Structure 1
Amino acid sequence: AKVTSTTFEWRRSDGRWQQQTRDVFERGNAAALLPYNLRQRTIVLIRQFRYPAYINGHDDLLIEAIAGLLDDAHPDVRIRAEAEEESGYRLHDVREIFEAFMSPGAVTEKIHFFVGEYEPEMRIGAGGGLAHEGEDIEVLELSFDEALAMIDNGRIVDAKTIMLLQYAALKIFK
């Protein structure tokens, strides 16, 4: 990851040129996943400490969708590996539903969003993340309705997670 400062000329809509300077954080692209079980009406999320959220006033662990940087891997390969590392679930099929820039004013990162069905027997490990990467992750299996309510009551404040839960409300758990 690196931060660069770039100055460039931008042609404004009125035809005039204007010099602009932007600081850009380049960290690579990522993938995020919401595992769901339609029959049980459940989803799998994770809870972990996030230092940037903490220093901006979030004095609790963050509840999030499974996610990780691509590190030059194909998004669907990387997200299956992240699912296993973080949650202990080995998912067979995941499908990409959309891509989005999360903070395009300053960050180059684009996230590939996935959903995938899970069954209890797909859990082959405890999850928890990779200790050598500083991960200490708690796995949460929640009813979908409870997770959706956690947006309203402020317990889920992570944008990628909110987006995936709202997608699931519109397209999966209708």
Structure 2
Amino acid sequence: MPHKTFDIIQRKRGWDGYFKLDVYRLQHDKFDGGKSAILQREILERGHAVAVLPYDPVRDEVILIEQFRPGTLSVQERYPDMPVWLIEIVAGIIEDGETAENVALRETIEEAGCEIIAPLEKISQYYVTPGCSSETVTMFYGRVDASKVGGIHGLDEEGEDIRVFTVSAEECFAMLQNGQLCNATTTIAIQWLMLNRDRIRKEAGI
């Protein structure tokens, strides 16, 4: 397969608020050897995120969070049965000067009220929706002690209102299969746990 190239003809900031929107004019190589037409595309510059699967291998419990998500609101018009409050895993945006690992540790405390007690294990790094956004997610497994986890967490200054709860691994797997976990990040994390749970528990001496 020959090396493919692209040319950015113009890039300008179309919106510079809480989210940033860049407008590109670009051209790229085609698989048939030619060049595409000059395309205009709007790209949401969301930043880069980190997600953490907090799992207690001793108790065999997953920590999940639930919170309101405004991006669901317009979806209700087409899919009224889809939830507005989503069940998720811990996640946050990488700020200037932070590493993905720093964010994983910080967000687990802020959103779930617990600390990671062993070295992080990287699960995956992936594009969220590359057709229209630059956002990536770096995902980790973090070992936690789930014995005292629960309650309401999050930062008031960020408008967070996060319910934290634990479920057994088997219950979590059932939630995925019956459609209760309907966001991609959580789906990827729980599918990874399905494949790696036995190994993780063995490594923890269970």
Question: TM-score, normalized by length of structure 2?
Answer: 0.78
Give 1:71's aligned amino acid.
E
Q: CA shift at 1:121, angstroms?
A: 6.1
Match of 2:130 among 104, 108, 113: 104
Moved over 6 A (4+): none
C-alpha deviation, 1:127, in angstroms: 5.6
Query: 1: CA distance between counterparts of 2:117 and 2:75?
Result: 37
1:80/1:127 Cα in 2 relative to 1: closer, same or farther (>3 Å)? farther
1:113 aligns with 2:139: yes
- Is the CA contact 1:64–1:158 (under 8 Å) kept in the aligned structure 2? yes
The amino acid across from 1:104 in the alignment is P
- Using the TM superposition, give the Cα deviation of residue 54 of structure 1 relative to its aligned residue in structure 2, in angstroms: 2.8
Residues matched between the structures, number: 173
Q: What is the aligned partner in structure 1 of residue 47 from structure 2?
A: 28
1:8-157 counterparts in 2 under 5 A? 8-18=26-36, 19-57=38-76, 58-72=82-96, 73-93=98-118, 94-120=120-146, 128-157=153-182
Which range is displaced more, 36-45 or 78-87?
36-45
- Tell me by how many angstroms 1:55 deviates: 2.4
Query: Structure 2: 5+ residue runs without aligned partners?
Result: 1-18, 77-81, 200-206
1: CA distance, partners of 2:139 / 2:175:
20
Partners in 2 of 1:97 and 1:151 — Cα distance? 18
- Identity among equivalent pairs (%): 30
Q: How big is the alpha-carbon RMSD for the aligned residues of Structure 1 and Structure 2?
A: 1.8
What SS does structure 2 have at the residue aligned with 1:6?
strand
**Normalising to structure 1: TM-score of the pair?**
0.92
For residues 69 and 198 of structure 2, what CA distance do their matches in structure 1 show? 29
Distance 1:17 1:120 in 2: 54
Aligned 8 A contact 1:38 1:173 in 2: no
Greater length-normalized contact order (CA 8 Å, ≥ 6 residues apart): 1
Which structure would you say has the larger Rg?
2
- Which residue in the other structure is 1:170 paired with? 195
Three-state SS of the structure 1 residue aligned to 2:153 is coil
- CA separation of 1:48 and 1:33: change in aligned 2, threshold 3 A: same
Secondary structure of the residue aligned to 2:115 is: coil
- 1:41 deviation in Å? 1.4
